[in-house]
Amino acid sequence: MLTPAQLLTGYARGVFPMAESADDDRLYWFDPPMRGVLPVGGIHVSRSLRRDLRRGGWSAHMDCDFAEIVAACANRETTWINAPLADLYQALHGAGHAHAIEIRHHGEFAGGIFGVTLGGAFFGESMVSAQENGSRMALWWLSSHLRRCNFSLFDTQFLTPHLARMGGSEIPRKTYRMRLTSALRRKADIRAVALESAKALADQP
């Protein structure tokens, strides 16, 4: 059985675990030749998304219910998050190495994202959208927050069309590992400052 310490060692080496399905207790290490990354700060924000934020009602919250965000991300027809992996994420959360951002719209759950932190690297694991723009808001808020907390790497594992529209790109494994090595040397703390208000986020250039 994989331990939380072994999981962190894997991330530090540039690999990450996934299950084939929720019904399979086994975990497998992945090391793709091309790695998805998002900009730390400065992700692409459409005019419609910025307008939506300015209309009001949106808010972001850090680690209010980590397990709930993980469960929401896993609550789909097919998922790579099985019970052992969810337990490992919970253990890392308890140790201060895993965090979740929850997005609410007029007080209702709209979306969220969770991931693992090491040094100045944030390893995005999964996100969920319960309302329109919920996951986009989570990515925007998180990317800005990581910059304010001295992070330099926002790893998304794979690049999806959704992430590409937000400014995501793919980099070769060798380039990723060089960026990871640099990020691991940085002193960063995702809890160093509070999440920005919706107004402060919307007013960014």
| pLDDT of 205 over the 90 cut | no
Can you tell me the distance from the alpha carbon of 38 to that of 49, in angstroms, rounded to the nearest whole number? Answer: 17
Per the domain annotation, does 14 fall within a domain? no
Is the pLDDT at 77 greater than 90? The verdict is no
pLDDT band at 131; cut points 50, 70, 90: very high
pLDDT in tens, 87-112: 999 999 999 999 999 999 999 999 99
Confidence of residue 85 (pLDDT cuts 50, 70, 90): very high
Q: Quick check: is 5 in a domain?
A: no
Residue 60's beta-bridge partner residues?
Answer: 103
Q: What pLDDT, on the 0 to 100 scale, is given for residue 78?
A: 83
In a domain, 44, yes or no: yes
Strands (E) in 12-53, as ranges, are: 16-18, 28-30, 34-38
Q: Which domain holds residue 166?
A: 34-76+98-202
Domain membership of residue 12 (yes or no) is no
Residue 7 lies in a domain: no
- pLDDT of amino acid 112: 97
Which CATH number does the domain housing residue 64 bear?
3.40.630.70
Asked if the structure places residue 152 within a domain, the reply is yes
Is 11 inside any structural domain? no
- Predicted pLDDT at 23: 84
Express each pLDDT in 185-201 by its tens digit.
999 999 999 999 999 99
Q: How many separate domains does the chain show?
A: 1
Asked if residue 91 belongs to a domain, the reply is: no
